[in-house]
Structures are given as C-alpha cells and as structure tokens.
Structure 1
C-alpha cells in the first residue's frame, strides 16, 4: 500500500477564477477510504501519526472506518509543488481560462478506486444548473444530496474542473419539494415574493415578514393551491396587497432578506397556509374556523 496515493488520479473539488496559477494556494487533501485500508496504514503513507489523523477527522477510539469514508489529510503544505503539478495535469484544454484566487483554499480528493457510476435518473428529476463563481463538485454533491460521481456521469465529465456559466444537469430526486423549490426559484419569482412580503407585512417584525413568505411558499407546495408563485399570489381574493395595488411597490432590502430566508426553508409558521390580522380582517368568522398555529406580530397564522 505504501506510496499508492501519489500515482493516482486527483479529482479537483474547488475551482475559482481570477489571478494566475502562481498565486498562493492553501491545499486540503481528502482521501477516500479503500477496501482493506486501516488508519495506521493511511497515517503511515501520509507521514503522520494515527492520533493526528483521528483528531483531524473527529474519529473516536472505537470508530470503524468504512469503504467510501472521506478523511481530511492535514498539513501537506510542504508538498505544494507536487500536488500543484498533478492538479494542473488534470486540465486538458490550455485555452480554458482557469486560474486561482490568491490565498484560496484548494481541496483535492484522492480516490484510487474511483469509477463513474451507472446512473438512471428520469428527466423529470433533473434540473439545468449554471455554475456560479466558487461552485465545486464537492459542494454541489453535498447540496443536492448526491455524489460527485453521479454528477460527473450525468454530465459526461472526464475531469472535475468547472467553468463559470457552464450548464450542467443536477439530480433532485434526493431532495424534498421545499429544497427543490429553493434551488430552482428564479430572480423574477424572488422579486415577486419580496413584493408580496413588502405589501403585506412591511410593518411587521422581521420574523413576521419571513412568516408571510413561508405561507406563500407553503401554498406553492400544497396540492390545495396553484403551484407557481405568480398563480398563488395573484389568486383572486387571497392577498390584500394585490387588491389594493401595494404588490406593485418596490420592496426594500428587508423584504428581500425575508424572501430568501423563507425560500431557504425557514418557516416560523410551522406549515401555515393562511394568515390574517384580527384588527382589519373582513371575514373573521372564516379565519376563526381554521386551526391556529402561531401569532407573530399583528398576524395570526392558521391551517
């Protein structure tokens, strides 16, 4: 097993764009446990103590490592030149504008047994995603509850570098409906949600503004209501800000923050589908027939 790690393929997780190749980099090496590996053998091959390897990975004395587990290998700065050479050899197209930010973290994954898996995910469980600055296969796999191998296989990637603006397919079959919504919401939908929050709740505490946004999202996800932001918000007679025209006001930064919090899954209402202000509601008797979940500011939230 000795020395096997230094002749394998390295899969680059983090790719940032600016500066040049000579910029100072901080490397983080991640080793994927193979069949037959032991902590003592891994520690020996990376010239460290078992204690340091365990401490760096929060491994208790009775923890058993399994095939596929990922271990952070600390303190490899003295090998920067060697790692850098192998990393850049993974970039096949010299015309690509790929470079690294000064003082950036650069994580490299060592997996001697890595093979692209066979994937069979239906088209309705895939979304088109455009790579943003700082996106990595590691982070995308974590955020979409999948693996790097699945993403590479879905997109026929032969190397793990990503380009800003690159369109790739990502699976959503392991995500909840709310998580899928959060990853597919458009700028126009975010703007509309912020306008609805501002029109309905700009005088409410911040958590109350998030709560109004959560109600709208809960409706989008509910079979009892339409399934788009526009259809839910503009549904006849549902929101006073539409009736009185305040939906057209320009939302402030607080409303946008509340909208993002709600989209990201924060729901102070615990799943409410309705809200009303007891002081101003026109149809109080109907609202009182609903199950009250929580009061926030001037609003009562119900199902």
Structure 2
C-alpha cells in the first residue's frame, strides 16, 4: 500500500488529537489501532479507506468532530505546538513504515480511562492492553 504525505499528516494529527500528552509508546499504540482498521478486511465498507479515510470518517475519532475543541488545530486554524506534533509524526511514521510491532495485539478500538463510564461496546470486547490513559480492545461486536 502506498501511503501519501497527506495520510502521514492526517495520522499524526489524529494521534495528537487523540493521544497528546501520552508517551511515544502510547501514541504508537493508538496508531496501531488505526493501522489495524486500515488493513482490516472490512476497511472499504466500514472503517474507511486508507489512513485519511479511517481517521476522518465521521464519529470514529472524536478529535475530527467539528464540535471537538481539537478540530481547529487539526485543520490548521490554530497551530499545534511543534514538539507535540513532531512526536506524533514520529509515532505515525514508525507505525506506517512497520518499524515497530503492534503492542495492542490487534486492537481496533480504544477508549480513554478518563471517561466516566466505559462505552457499551467495551463490555463485550476483548481487552488487549492498558497503556497510559487508554484501554485497547479487539473482537468488538
């Protein structure tokens, strides 16, 4: 699969929006969740196509919702702090280029531990990893 610069940028911005403040390992885990959706058999019909398609498909990653406070940063109206975006770009490139193994065990979903209540889908899914402020899952019904 050929990955464009736009795909790399959108993935890095998604990592910033979803996992800024996490360690590089935490951002890599989030990036792998997205990569697992990109390469899932139902990619074209459900998740979206390619990294940009998966990241920006409505309601998959809340940072791309127009009502989310991160959105204005993701689309460039406000500037992201350079070092924060640089770390997200490193995580994105390492995952896209296959330089790091999947720490999530094939997760396609995650949620933040800061949520007051776990999402309903998490109750029937298999937890694969807890890292930083995120819990990762696969086999989500």
TM bracket, shorter-chain basis: 0.7 to 0.9
- Where relative contact order (Cα < 8 A, 6+ residues apart) is larger, the structure is 2
Between 210-219 and 226-235, the greater mean CA deviation after superposition: 226-235
The gaps in structure 1 that reach 5 residues or longer are 1-180
Find the counterpart in structure 1 of residue 9 from structure 2.
Answer: 191
Find the counterpart in structure 2 of residue 261 from structure 1.
Answer: 94
- CA positional deviation for 1:227: 2.4
Alignment of 1:103-142 (within 5 A): none
Find the counterpart in structure 1 of residue 122 from structure 2.
Answer: 287
Find the counterpart in structure 2 of residue 233 from structure 1.
Answer: 55
Specify whether residues 262 and 297 from structure 1 end up closer, same or farther in structure 2 by C-alpha distance, changes over 3 A only.
Answer: same
Find the counterpart in structure 2 of residue 296 from structure 1.
Answer: 131
Q: Which has the larger radius of gyration?
A: 1
Specify whether residues 268 and 281 from structure 1 end up closer, same or farther in structure 2 by C-alpha distance, changes over 3 A only.
Answer: farther
The gaps in structure 2 that reach 5 residues or longer are none
- State whether residues 13 and 88 of structure 2, in contact with CA within 8 Å, keep that contact through their aligned partners in structure 1: yes
Q: Normalization by structure 2: what TM-score?
A: 0.77
Q: CA RMSD in A?
A: 1.8
Q: Normalization by structure 1: what TM-score?
A: 0.38
Q: Which of 66, 81, 85 does residue 252 from structure 1 map onto?
A: 85
Structure with greater helix share of residues:
2
Q: Answer yes or no: is 1:201 the counterpart of 2:19.
A: yes
